[in-house]
Chain A
Amino acid sequence: MEKMSRVTTALGGSVLTGRTMHCHLDAPANAISVCRDAAQVVVAGRSIFKIYAIEEEQFVEKLNLRVGRKPSLNLSCADVVWHQMDENLLATAATNGVVVTWNLGRPSRNKQDQLFTEHKRTVNKVCFHPTEAHVLLSGSQDGFMKCFDLRRKDSVSTFSGQSESVRDVQFSIRDYFTFASTFENGNVQLWDIRRPDRCERMFTAHNGPVFCCDWHPEDRGWLATGGRDKMVKVWDMTTHRAKEMHCVQTIASVARVKWRPECRHHLATCSMMVDHNIYVWDVRRPFVPAAMFEEHRDVTTGIAWRHPHDPSFLLSGSKDSSLCQHLFRDASQPVERANPEGLCYGLFGDLAFAAKESLVAAESGRKPYTGDRRHPIFFKRKLDPAEPFAGLASSALSVFETEPGGGGMRWFVDTAERYALAGRPLAELCDHNAKVARELGRNQVAQTWTMLRIIYCSPGLVPTANLNHSVGKGGSCGLPLMNSFNLKDMAPGLGSEARLDRSKGDARSDTVLLDSSATLITNEDNEETEGSDVPADYLLGDVEGEEDELYLLDPEHAHPEEPECVLPQEAFPLRHEIVDTPPGPEHLQDKADSPHVSGSEADVASLAPVDSCFSLLSVSHALYDSRLPPDFFSVLVRDMLHFYAEQGDVQMAVSVLIILGERVRKDIDEQTQEHWYTSYIDLLQRFRLWNVSNEVVKLSTSRAVSCLNQASTTLHVNCSHCKRPMSSRGWVCDRCHRCASMCAVCHHVVKGLFVWCQGCSHGGHLQHIMKWLEGSSHCPAGCGHLCEYS
């Protein structure tokens, strides 16, 4: 009742008016404090100590308390406070450890009243008792708090914080005898003013110094503290143990905190370094400030609400030598600019996405998700009248379901797990990977592997089974395929004729790059092939006619609607060794004569695109001799890798890169390689293929990638008895001097590999456990758990 009447007298008597304004001070401010009448503010700093009257439009300097010719360190203020009961009484804390009181009622120019020189170090904070006229409290760097009675010359009592520097002291507003003090080591203490011998309560509030604290003006026992660890915490002190009720994470160390009058959950903070803004937080919404004042150009050092019952006026002083009055209605509200969004994956790969309605509408208009089923659900949040964030009323929720089967990434996981990347000769690796790809129905990839093997390995070793897979009939002919290509957008006859003409004149290997699509014709002729121009000729014609038959490979089963694959689909121009192998099997000869080259013949690996403008040439060479320079194909391979990467199959690109190693690496620039590696590793990690991803990291030659494995390689172990981290050795705890990891089988300390069941957390030496599990599936420790090891 009494409070109510005071509100009406304070606000009803003279309603506060004003605007957002600032005035320039001569020097940086360290602290500010407001007079009880809300019409005057005192600013104190190292070389400033002035009283300003707050008028409607501006600040007016009223009094300069810094008098005297010689500036004294007593006037170098770290803090200032104006008595809330007596308009004439002020106190300052000086950086040299002196506490000074000022009486504005003194007739002389020098208003200095009393000087207390009891502290040995800088005094960080002074605080008047909220109702008692003569009681002043100070907290100093020397670790002591002193209570002064202004009617006496020296302190009444001294409170020791055990040699830790005191950063803030605040009298409780509700409890007459209580005050809180905060310390540089992160502690907060609660004292009874009558008991200087020991504190009532002490708890660790922050990691690092606690710079400030503030009692809630209405809620008894609510204390807000701010620390160097960038946090503001609200504690409930009424319970037996101080309970942390709210925690606000700011972006810089918190220098001051002040509860906002009349708004139960609001408090204002300012920072000590880096961040110049003043924030007003709703402690229930600790992530986005409710309001933000951005006027200052340097760190804000003092904030004060102008009137204890008016929530809209905030005053602030700053290192940029200015004094500001902020109006709440002029504050910028970060929440208005934020786009609230939520994204979550479901158990089965579904994706839920919630965003502001307007955003979603715009988004879906631009980019329709045709393949997905969509269930947009619109809902309205209940409006809470007390809630300042009511502005964002509605949002849209979209759920994207994954189509069963379609677009699954099973193949990716399988491929990643089964590919072999190192440890065997190149040829075997290629073969293995081709096999894997084929088994997964990725024939194009399989084909690529096979070709890589042909390109980079000596041909005599190629098993036919691998070569003929596209035809589906293995091994009827021992002729290895040498290369394949297609002649794109080119009259087939013409192309082949041109080629043949050339080949006749040239007994050596000969290459022609036919068109810009980087389709490469490798033509390796020798005398024997001279006679084959006729078969080759009609081969071309034939192939065209038999396209459907030739359509043996569908590299894009999963995505038939995709634009046709741009990979240069290589086919093998057919070259039979007619002359070369006269004693060869009869069917070979037949085949050479037969126009139906690829329909039934086993030795041809051919790929035909759906598009009819592609023509196919198939040829097989009996002999590949290394007359080609080794890096001859590197351009082609490079393009191939780029192609796969472009397609999104970075897996292929990286696998080939690793397997071929030096052979291609120099052709692809370092950054691209790094990019591929990182994308692939990222993908692998998303699929939780940790082993594969580590293998890739290990095998990578890129410096930036391989160092991924060298960061954060520490494994922290906690003692199983005292739960403390074991710092020096992994098997014995320094604290309780017990060996933490005992083998459940042999009861000895495990110093190497320790394996344990995640169900009952018993375990031991890897070998012992393995042996044990052969005989029994129960836990060796005898706990009765049926252990499972993966």
Chain B
Amino acid sequence: MRLATAANEAYTAPLAVSELLGCKQCGGGPDHDEELGIRIPRPLGQGPSRFIPEKEILQVGSEDAQMHALFADSFAALGRLDNITLVMVFHPQYLESFLKTQHYLLQMDGPLPLHYRHYIGIMAAARHQCSYLVNLHVNDFLHVGGDPKWLNGLENAPQKLQNLGELNKVLAHRPWLITKEHIEGLLKAEEHSWSLAELVHAVVLLTHYHSLASFTFGCGISPEIHCDGGHTFRPPSVSNYCICDITNGNHSVDEMPVNSAENVSVSDSFFEVEALMEKMRQLQECRDEEEASQEEMASRFEIEKRESMFVFSSDDDEVTPARDVSRHFEDTSYGYKDFSRHGMHVPTFRVQDYCWEDHGYSLVNRLYPDVGQLIDEKFHIAYNLTYNTMAMHKDVDTSMLRRAIWNYIHCMFGIRYDDYDYGEINQLLDRSFKVYIKTVVCTPEKVTKRMYESFWRQFKHSEKVHVNLLLIEARMQAELLYALRAITRYMT
């Protein structure tokens, strides 16, 4: 089925990326099959994800009725069954909502023309150097009749889209800096100005693709077969692959062996789960006993916020940005800066004053009808999704853990819940997990397989994907909250 999809895609989009961008290292030139003159692509890598062994992932053909229906919908909507879908299908309930939202955003009635939508998707994904999403949407962009010239960089796109670049940048890396002046600049630019409805559509798209980029890196999604880096034309027997295949896949196929220091024994990691559950139980019980003072609570938030800054992987291995289209959109000078690190004081965002359920939803639904509902459902499903299992344990109430993850991400963005004791985060999330969360949410392009493997070693892959869903939805909500608050402030 996947091969069929790829063939279909190549047929419908004759200007495939490989043609457009050329695989320079491997000659770029057609490497014709002697007999028919047709080059047959062969999949590279193993399965949809580089982190998750292929055998763990559901095989197409062995899905149940619900999943099958989802696949059918996805295929009908996109004309393909992409690797993201194949990984997300661990959680069919969420996937359904995700696909519905994405389909609506990209293909249904909306204020922006179709090629703009894909172009914005490209812009957003390129912020995180996510070649996977960029390639997908380059195809779609050309397919809906977008001008190939735009792909040479943002400066070739209409002024209107160029104006969006700044918002894209801030939103992706430091959303707390968005002010109503940003919004005003977009809405009042004479002939290049955005309408409010268009802007909300664009903001939703940007946040959607920022967080989707997080997912792509967080789960190590492999390139699609028809995209650059997703295939090879070499016969399978040839062992030495060309260099561009590796760089385009972000990280080489062969990961470094797991650090010996972190290579803890199985029994250790077994205790890890036990310890986590014990902590949850303790928190549940003794919450009523020791009541922290108000000052204590406030400082816990600050501590967590500050600590989150220093949580960073030590191995900052630089990845060579050799990524075709995305390099045209990159502005590497602007990246994630920790919330209020350099003495620049940004007031804490209080959820009780501006929350998605009450305020964000109303605004989105007013300006871009139905989408508020769809996103709301998606947030709800992601936040409440649980199978009451933890690794090998069953019937566990994981709400506390999920809330800790969600609030930790919002904490990194400076969003505070008055009714949450941030001490819980320290109890429940260990350092390697925090490193992973922080990297996926803030600088997804730096995620490595080692990071993915080093947290929650005993947990199943489906649970790690579940964590990723929480991460991307929390991130999307955080970005949306800041952007929508700025829009609200502009409107009042």
The answer to the question of A273 belonging to the interface, with a C-beta cut-off of 8 Å to chain B, is yes
A297 within 8 A of B: yes
Give Cα distance in the complex from A276 to B350, angstroms.
21
Q: Is B317 in contact with chain A by the CB < 8 A criterion?
A: no
Contacting residues of chain A (86-125) with chain B, CB-CB under 8 angstroms: 94-97, 117, 119-122
Q: Given the complex of chains A and B, what is the CA–CA distance between A74 and B295 in angstroms?
A: 11
**Are A70 and B363 in contact, with the CB atoms below 8 A?**
no
Number of residue pairs spanning A and B whose beta carbons lie under 8 angstroms apart: 77
B152 at the interface (CB under 8 A from A): no
A623 → chain B closest CB, angstroms = 45
| Distance of B106 from chain A, by nearest CB (Å) | 14
B488 at the interface (CB under 8 A from A): yes
Q: B19 CB to closest chain A CB, in angstroms?
A: 25
Measured between beta carbons, the chain A residues less than 8 angstroms from B309 are none
B358 within 8 A of A: yes
Q: Looking at the assembled complex, report how far the CB atom of B180 sits from the nearest CB atom of chain A, in whole angstroms.
A: 13
Interface status of A73 (Cβ within 8 A of chain B): yes
Is there an interface contact between B294 and A70, defined as CB atoms closer than 8 Å?
Answer: yes
Contacts A46-B353, A70-B294, A78-B352: A120 and B419 contacting too (C-beta < 8 A)? yes
Q: Can you list 5 residue pairs at the A/B interface with Cβ under 8 Å?
A: A73-B418, A97-B419, A208-B373, A209-B358, A273-B362
A252–B352 touching, CB < 8 Å: no
For B373, the closest partner residue in chain A by CB is A208
> Within 8 Å CB of B297, what residues of A?
73, 96
**Does A211 lie at the interface of the complex (its beta carbon under 8 Å from any beta carbon of B)?**
yes
Chain A interfacial residues counted at CB < 8 A: 38
Say whether B363 contacts A273, CB under 8 Å.
Answer: yes
Cβ–Cβ < 8 Å partners of A70 in chain B: 294-295
Question: Would A96 and B362 count as touching, CB distance under 8 A?
Answer: no
Within 8 A of A (CB), among B288-316: 291, 294-295, 297-298
Complex partner residue of A253 from B294, B358, B419, B492, CB under 8 angstroms: B358
Nearest-neighbor residue (CB-CB) of A122 within chain B: B419
Q: Please report whether the interface of chain A is mostly helix, strand, loop or mixed according to DSSP.
A: loop
Point out the residues of chain A lying under 8 angstroms from B359, CB to CB.
272-273
Question: Closest Cβ of chain B: how far from A435's Cβ, in Å?
Answer: 39
**Partner among A76, A96, A298, A712 whose Cβ is within 8 Å of the Cβ of B492:** A298
Is the CB of A601 closer than 8 A to any CB of chain B?
no
Contact B366 A122 (CB under 8 A): no
Q: A70-B294, A95-B352 are in contact. Are A228 and B69 (CB under 8 A)?
A: no
Residues of chain A within 8 A (CB-CB) of B357 are 184, 209, 228
The listed residue (B373, B418, B488) touching A122 by CB distance below 8 A is B418
A1 surroundings in chain B (CB, below 8 A): none
Closest approach, in angstroms, between the C-beta of A141 and any C-beta of chain B?
7
**B69→A728 contact, CB < 8 A:** yes
Contact A228 B362 (CB under 8 A): yes
Q: How far is it, in angstroms, between the C-alpha of A122 and the C-alpha of B419 when the chains are bound? A: 6
Given contacts A74-B294, A121-B419, A122-B352, contact A273 B358 (CB under 8 A): yes
| B363 / chain A contacts, CB cutoff of 8 Å | 273-274
Q: How far is the CA of A711 from the CA of B113 in the complex (A)?
A: 13
Chain B positions within 8 Å of A320 at CB level: 492
Q: Are B419 and A274 in contact (CB under 8 A)?
A: no
Is B109 in contact with chain A by the CB < 8 A criterion? yes
Extra inter-chain contacts (8) besides given A208-B376, A252-B366, A712-B109, CB under 8 Å? A97-B419, A122-B352, A208-B373, A209-B358, A273-B359, A274-B363, A298-B492, A727-B69
In the complex, which residue of chain B has the Cβ closest to the Cβ of A320? B492
In the complex, residue of chain B having the shortest beta-carbon distance to the beta carbon of A209:
B357
Question: Is A72 among interface residues, defined by CB-CB distance under 8 A?
Answer: yes
Note all chain B residues with C-beta closer than 8 A to A74: 294
> A28: nearest residue on chain B (CB-CB)?
B353
Bound-complex Cα distance A122 to B352 (A): 8
Chain B hits for A272, CB < 8 A: 358-359, 362
The CA-CA distance from A164 to B358 in the complex, in Å, is 15
Contact of B418 among A96, A208, A211, A252 (CB under 8 A): A96
Given the complex, which residues of B lie within 8 Å of A712, measured CB to CB? 109
Q: For the complex, is B392 an interface residue (Cβ under 8 Å from A)? A: no
The distance in angstroms between the C-alpha atoms of A46 and B291, with both chains bound, is 22
CA A19 to CA B469, docked complex, whole Å? 55
- Nearest chain A residue, comparing its CB with the CB of B107: A710
- A-contact 0/1 string along B325-368, CB 8 Å cutoff: 00000000000000000000000001011000111011100100
Q: Are B361 and A95 in contact (CB under 8 A)?
A: no
Give Cα A298–Cα B354 distance, bound, in whole angstroms.
14
The distance from the CB of A387 to the nearest CB of chain B, in whole angstroms, is 33
Q: Mark A266-287, 1 if CB is under 8 A from B, else 0.
A: 0000001110100000000000
Sort A-B residue pairs by CB-CB distance and give the 3 closest, nearest first. A95-B418, A273-B362, A95-B352
B491 interface hit (Cβ, 8 Å): yes
Q: Is B72 interfacial (CB 8 A cutoff)?
A: yes
